[in-house]
Structure 1
Amino acid sequence: MTQVQPIRELLAAASRPLVDARAMPPSVYSSSDFLAVENESIFARDWVCVGRASSLPNVGDYITHELAGQPVVILRDRDNQIRALSNVCLHRMSTIVEGSGNKRVLVCPYHAWTYDLSGQLRGAPFMTETTGFCKESYKLPQIRCEEWLGWIYITLNKDRPSVAQDLAEVEQMISQYQVQNYTECFRETHVWDTNWKVLAENFMESYHLPVCHAATVGGHSKLEEMDCPPGLRNFNYHWITKEASLPIGNAHPDNTRLEGRWRKTTALLTLYPSHLITLTPGYFWYLSLQPHGTGQVSMIFGGGLSPEFMADPKAEEYITSLKTLLDEVNVEDRGCTEKVFRGLSADAAKPGHLSYLERPIYDFMQYIADRTAGFERSFALAAE
């Protein structure tokens, strides 16, 4: 299968009106040629979240990430600023650091070329007799890196507008939560056996909650009360107003920022391409996805509490209960999304009609078609 078939089928699906919308065709998930287009036109060009700034509290703290096939290290430098660098040595092109941790300098494990936290080469053993070698001319390429509401974003695209500009509308919509002041209490990485878009779509719709999550959060989900407005250029979203299954799902008594229905309202945000956030008055959790082939997705998973719950004497109990719940939810979601990928890989797979509760999936499909095939999206209806 070449990239022609999935693009043709995707454009046909994206062109259908909302009232007759269908899911994306199987080829869009299963084609390795189409994934190559996604990496080039989406992940190499858009902003991608790599976690919370609070995960790098100290000078020398670092995390690594692979963005569209490019190894990147994100760190806090000696000026206490977060920056992103190419994680490829300028000598024989080995990757330099792995995973996460803290380093005073970055030392290549192959020949011990050593870089400071700004990326400047500081040491290169047995190179003094090499004609033409100039240590000062070696500096790891900088990768664009910005913070937004406590999250770190990186992009390979030098011309991309800032994160704040891209997400100005969503920032205004959720400003009353003040999520920049929430504290991340856990951060993990996982790899699931499904396509990245299957997992993204699973997060952005609540239609599956009563069934897939019957044992956890499903019983608290009133589908008839869910609001799924039209998405905007760089994100889609929907709202749930409910009595939360956990006390931390509603506003803490000491929370004076949120009033009325906002004290019980949860925002579910999909920031394209792959930053997925559940934001409640008391806690948040998020995923950031990176394709790992057509049938695997690498996932950053994190979450934490609002300032009022962090200041509560029972904060540790709240953190434990949140992590326990989300671990159970992840088990359920993994089962559902891996089944979807196995199913769409079958010869008999055929996309069906979308529910009105899956409006965010329709918007996401048009975003994918825009980025990969030049589909022209319309935004006649503004966000509320």
Structure 2
Amino acid sequence: MVAMREMTEPKDLFDPRHYTRVRRPFHSAETLPPWCYTSERWYEREKETIFKKYWNCLGHESRVPEPGSYFTQTFCDVPLIVVRGQDKVVRAFVNSCTHRGSIMMEGEGSCNHIKCPYHAWAFSLEGELVGTPMFEESEHFRKADHGLAQIRAEVWNGLIFINFDPSAQAMTDYLGDLTDRVAPWKAGEMVCVARREFPVKSNWKFYAENWSDGYHVPFVHQTTLNKKRVSKRDFHDPSVHIGNYLMHYTYFSGSRGTPEGQKKFPELDLPKELKIGTFFPYVHANAMVGFAIDLVSCTEIIPEGPGACRLFTSTMVPKATAELPEFQETLELYLKYSDIVRDEDVIAAERQQRGAESAYAKPGCFTPQDKLVHDYDLWILDRVIGNSGP
């Protein structure tokens, strides 16, 4: 009989002593305890120490293509409006009227100003209060004091990132050398040709860890990715790759966007040394980016509780590629194949979640092929628990 190891969530959940085995060198380390993927308290701590402190991707800037374009989204329980101003700058605001707190905008669309449906207070696209019907300024009330709460927003390589922490590093400083490393792809000049949504019944970390796990490919992707021979993988080295990201580079010939024998997009104008595989950075806290020889993709993970998350994937190509006569037909081949691969990963993450919720669940171990998962888990611990050790 199998002896059950009690892995009930401890009362002193954030005591560093519970995580000393995770901090060992990867060849003798344990994975995060199962409660890190199932605990409501742990998840709430992640929201405060990770998602509200670091940069989070909300997709491609084509979601707000013109001045006045906007979309609304809730991220970690905070309702947001993302809008492009008349000055073409992308901004993010808390979607809550500064009068009585009402949600102001829903869905997506275009507007000349942001207007609250409750008392018709109106705000400029830059967040300034400009209209208060039947209520005039006085010594007790100045419109300038009641603008919308603004969340920091920056566009990097065509992708919108937000940060709830007003004292956080600027995006370029935060990313360190990553901007220079991916400059040859010229992703900021690309067009977004597809954005798709995928619900996942697992903790967000299971899917995030999977991004950096090379060990699962021969087994989870037996009939898809594994059919393309990978000669080697380079993994993140913090002494070489400086910035708030983890990466691996997968070496293979040609494109992995569709199966062999199917029509593919033209190769990008890249240096020879970057046309031998795909560069896969994971940008903390929630962006999985793939820089391939024929396109760039980004999947953002939106956490929705301890046992659920949602994925949004944007696909970007040069404008010249999007204008090719058979582009749409070829794109459909890429998307169909991508769906198959993603479904395989989703199934794997959901199986992990079900296993973690078992009373018999216990920490596992790492192999050389998933060493980067250990690095990722240490990054999580340093934010949630602190990096001072026991």
TM-score, normalization by structure 2? 0.87
Of residues 235, 245, 257 in structure 2, which corresponds to 1:235? 245
1:130 shift after superposition:
9.5
Question: Aligned pair in 2 of structure 1 residues 255, 278: CA closer, same or farther (>3 Å)?
Answer: closer
Question: Aligned pair in 2 of structure 1 residues 95, 37: CA closer, same or farther (>3 Å)?
Answer: same
Aligned: 1:257 with 2:270: yes
1:113 shift after superposition:
2.2
Distance 1:47 1:29 in 2: 21
Of residues 179, 202, 217 in structure 2, which corresponds to 1:194? 202
Aligned: 1:82 with 2:90: yes
Write the letter of the residue equivalent to 1:208.
H
Alpha-carbon contact 1:75-1:83 (below 8 Å) kept: yes
Of residues 44, 51, 54 in structure 2, which corresponds to 1:43? 51
Which stretch shifts more, 358-367 or 200-209?
200-209
Distance 2:266 2:86 in 1: 40
Question: Aligned pair in 2 of structure 1 residues 14, 22: CA closer, same or farther (>3 Å)?
Answer: closer
2:288 corresponds in structure 1 to: 276
2:163 corresponds in structure 1 to: 155
Question: Aligned pair in 2 of structure 1 residues 153, 254: CA closer, same or farther (>3 Å)?
Answer: closer
Distance 1:326 1:252 in 2: 14
2:3 corresponds in structure 1 to: none
1:95 corresponds in structure 2 to: 103
Alpha-carbon contact 1:196-1:297 (below 8 Å) kept: yes
Write the letter of the residue equivalent to 1:242.
F
1:380 corresponds in structure 2 to: none
1:77 shift after superposition:
0.4
1:31 shift after superposition:
1.1
Write the letter of the residue equivalent to 2:232.
E
Question: Aligned pair in 2 of structure 1 residues 247, 32: CA closer, same or farther (>3 Å)?
Answer: closer
Secondary structure of 1:362's partner? helix
Distance 1:158 1:237 in 2: 27
Query: Deviations along 1:102-131, whole A, 9 cap, x unmatched?
Result: 222222233332222111223333435999
Distance 1:295 1:328 in 2: 22
Write the letter of the residue equivalent to 2:233.
M
Distance 1:36 1:286 in 2: 25
2:189 corresponds in structure 1 to: 181
Query: Deviations along 1:197-223, whole A, 9 cap, x unmatched?
Result: 11111122222122222233232153x
2:332 corresponds in structure 1 to: 320
1:226 corresponds in structure 2 to: 233
Q: Which segments of 5 or more consecutive residues in structure 1 lack a partner in the other structure?
A: 378-384
Secondary structure of 1:171's partner? helix
1:69 shift after superposition:
2.6
Of residues 321, 329, 333 in structure 1, which corresponds to 2:341? 329
Query: Deviations along 1:242-284, whole A, 9 cap, x unmatched?
Result: 132447999966744321x422320111111111111101112
Superposition CA RMSD, Å: 2.6
Distance 1:376 1:42 in 2: 17
User: Counting helix residues as a fraction of each chain, which structure ranks higher?
Assistant: 1
Distance 1:364 1:227 in 2: 16
1:160 shift after superposition:
0.9
Question: Aligned pair in 2 of structure 1 residues 351, 248: CA closer, same or farther (>3 Å)?
Answer: same
Distance 2:250 2:134 in 1: 62
Secondary structure of 1:42's partner? helix
Alpha-carbon contact 1:228-1:357 (below 8 Å) kept: no
Which stretch shifts more, 349-358 or 228-237?
228-237
1:11 shift after superposition:
2.8
Which stretch shifts more, 338-347 or 306-315?
306-315
Question: Aligned pair in 2 of structure 1 residues 252, 327: CA closer, same or farther (>3 Å)?
Answer: closer
1:382 corresponds in structure 2 to: none
Write the letter of the residue equivalent to 2:86.
R
Query: Deviations along 1:294-345, whole A, 9 cap, x unmatched?
Result: 0111332211224553353332223222222222222222211111111111
2:304 corresponds in structure 1 to: 292
Distance 1:253 1:338 in 2: 35
Question: Aligned pair in 2 of structure 1 residues 3, 169: CA closer, same or farther (>3 Å)?
Answer: farther
Distance 1:205 1:9 in 2: 26
Question: Aligned pair in 2 of structure 1 residues 342, 215: CA closer, same or farther (>3 Å)?
Answer: same
Distance 1:124 1:2 in 2: 51
Distance 2:21 2:318 in 1: 40
Question: Aligned pair in 2 of structure 1 residues 14, 89: CA closer, same or farther (>3 Å)?
Answer: same
Q: Percent identity?
A: 25
1:2 shift after superposition:
5.6
2:4 corresponds in structure 1 to: none
Question: Aligned pair in 2 of structure 1 residues 139, 104: CA closer, same or farther (>3 Å)?
Answer: same
Secondary structure of 1:214's partner? coil
Alpha-carbon contact 1:44-1:155 (below 8 Å) kept: yes
Secondary structure of 1:4's partner? coil
Alpha-carbon contact 2:267-2:293 (below 8 Å) kept: no
TM-score, normalization by structure 1? 0.89
Of residues 359, 375, 386 in structure 2, which corresponds to 1:347? 359
